Amino acid sequence: MWTCKTTWKKLAPLARTCSTLCRQNARRTVLNSDRRLPMVTQAHMSSGTPGSGGDNNLYYLLVGATCIAGGFYAYRTIKGDQERYNERMNEIASRANKVAEQAETYLPEEPRGDEAVETPEETSPEVTAEEPEGPPVELEAEIAEEAPVADLALEEVVEMPCAPTQSEPSPVAESPPAETAEPQTTTVTESAADPATDEPTNVPPPAPVEFPSHAPYLLIGGGTASFAAARSIRARDPGARVLIITDEPDLPYMRPPLSKELWFSDDPGVVDTLRFKQWNGKERSIYFQPPSFYVSPQDLEKVENGGVAVLTGKKVVHMDVRGNKVTLSDNTEISYDKCLIATGGVPRNLQVIERAGEEVTKRTTLFRKVEDFKALNKVSRDTKSITIIGGGFLGSELACALGRRSADSDLEVIQMFPEKGNMGKVLPEYLSNWTTAKVRSEGVRVITEALVKGVSFKDGKVEIKLKDGRVVKTDHIVAAVGLEPSVELAKSAGLEVDSDFGGYRVNAELQARSNIWVAGDAACFYDIRLGRRRVEHHDHAVVSGRLAGENMTGANKPYWHQSMFWSDLGPDVGYEAIGIVDSSLPTVGVFAKATAKDTPKAATEKSGTGIRSESETEGTASSTATSSTPAPPPEPQQKDDYGKGVIFYLRDKVVVGIVLWNVFNRMPIARKIIKDGEEHADLNEVAKLFNIHED
């Protein structure tokens, strides 16, 4: 009928126009010739010769054909809907039979009176109304009255016909969780006579449902940034349901101890417990929270007050930003309302190692995760020599850690890098050379200005050929040559990747799209003081994740924070840094004599935490009064020992970076100096703010 009506609306104006033209032509003829033409009734007017009805007959024929076609289409549509409805009902009926069979299989014991579970009153009438077939309905009602597992399954069966056009998730009835079936003691009455139910172990249980199909807050990545965001979301929205998806098998944990404190633990079981003593002697775990803190992914949609669930061992491979859903590596889809990308990065490798073959590859460690720590710990106890390629933060920390371990064994530790000294890209040359001497004192053989030309495996050893002709033979290689941000989702999601720094380009609120945020190592953000940057440190992951979580709940805050980072070369030497610390920039260093309290160990004893950013990010520069003690003029090149001090990095005479060398708990002051962005005529006076000359 709608088709006929539409056709009539299109043809009626044409008919009326033709009739009007015909009358007007007739009037003109009469006026011009003074002769009146015979008029036909208005009902028979057409575009043809006056008085003819051929076109009217054609018009009636078209209208009639249209009505017949519309009726036939309506008939076919109604019939097709009826067939699909019947198929759906048959499928539901067969599914109910499966419920009954599984209930008999998993509930083999006789029901006891004190354990009978009553079903809500509305369950039975709903099943009876939806299921036209008698026997399955009676069996379903009986199971629902006696078994909570079957009751949950029946609720799923009743609700599914409401949305037949959506894709079907695996019904809970077909995959009951194992922990629910174990304590159940009730069963249907027929099962007592069935000997097959006495051996439930012969029937393998189906795989349980592992995750919800929808998450209001979806966090991709299980690192520090994701956990900080989840905690921030829950703080602002106590009833929020947050799902974290990580491709690692572990719950969210902190990475810094993997290259620091864990290596100095005296506990032989540290690899299994992943607990360590901080420099202050207090013990803690690398995991942010114990498993009891999280809810299971199966229960995320059911818990009354929401919670945080972690889906481990799953990788997001595709992102549909228009449909607000992601696809996992097993082709499972999860929809979301708001999403955070905190995928971090993957360790870089040298091309010469990648081309060296399988024997070299399996003797190479790219250090990043818990499993990498466990593998390298085992290698350090089973092999005779380890070579670390890279002189940055990670390479130098691992070199000191393994060097300290080599004092109690015959392990040879070698570190090589292309710079002139350790952390040569960060520290000024004089301080880099002093750091190299410190690393050597830990028992490490340091090879500077070493460019790797080729790697091969010969006679049970890995041979590293340098560009200057030197050859180093070793049993194992640790490649610590940087991090590559994980941006695999950029193509499917249509997100922009920064061509200079890498990572997803985000605005000041860490947004990549209207409901997508990015935090941590993978975020390339705009710093209002220092320009566009990408930071790969723990403190940045904490602060950016926290801010992203707040903005996901409507805070709309810009990223103002200047994140810090720190590195410890054992318990006696460490530094904290903020801003742009690049050895190619002009630097001014102010140093003083160190005391026993100017060590990472003493700093953690004073602050009470080994993860220094956890305490300092909340601090503020409460006082900027300079010390009355006069500062000696800096002469860093003439000194042999740099106990403690402050190094200022300048760009256009403005301080853009600060390194606090064995000076701790002063980061809020450094942050304020960079935020002010002022020129300073005498940096010795600025150094007094850090009280480095106090005993």
| Tokens of residue 540, six digits | 């940045």
| Tokens of residue 240, six digits | 């929020």
Amino acid identity for residue 56 in this structure? N
Residues 6+ apart with CB under 8 A from 453: 352, 465, 466, 467
Q: Calculate mean pLDDT across residues 461-490.
A: 95
Residues 6+ apart with CB under 8 A from 602: 279, 596, 664
CA dihedral 255, 261, 266, 268 (to 10 degrees): 10
Whether the full predicted model's pTM is greater than 0.95, yes or no, is no
Contact 112, 186 (CB under 8 A): yes
Report residue 516's pLDDT band, with 50, 70 and 90 as the boundaries. very high
End-to-end CA distance of the chain: 96
Between residues 579 and 616, which one has the greater pLDDT? Answer: 579
Report residue 42's pLDDT band, with 50, 70 and 90 as the boundaries. very low
CA 308 to chain centre: 13
Res 200: pLDDT: 40
The residue with tokens 């050895």 is 583
H-assigned helices in 322-448: 351-354, 358-361, 370-382, 393-406, 429-441
Cα(162)–Cα(692) distance, integer angstroms = 71
Res 605: pLDDT: 59
| Tokens of residue 176, six digits | 């009951």
Residues 6+ apart with CB under 8 A from 566: 574, 575, 576, 577, 612, 613
Cα(300)–Cα(297) distance, integer angstroms = 5
Q: What is the pLDDT of residues 146-158, one digit of tens each?
A: 333 333 332 333 3
> Per-residue pLDDT for 586 more than 60?
yes
Catalogue all structural domains in the chain, each as residue range(s) with its CATH number: 79-202 (no CATH), 214-252+287-346+485-552 (3.50.50.60), 365-473 (3.50.50.60), 564-690 (3.30.390.30)
* Sign of the dihedral through C-alpha 448, 450, 455, 458: negative
Burial environment of residue 59 by CB neighbours within 10 A (0 to 12, 13 to 18, 19 or more): middle
| Tokens of residue 293, six digits | 């803190």
Q: What is the pLDDT of residues 73-109, one digit of tens each?
A: 888 888 877 777 677 666 655 654 554 454 444 444 4
Q: What is the pLDDT of residues 298-320, one digit of tens each?
A: 999 999 999 999 999 999 999 99
**Residue of 510, 513, 522, 512 lying closest to 548 (CA atoms):** 510
Contact 501, 532 (CB under 8 A): yes
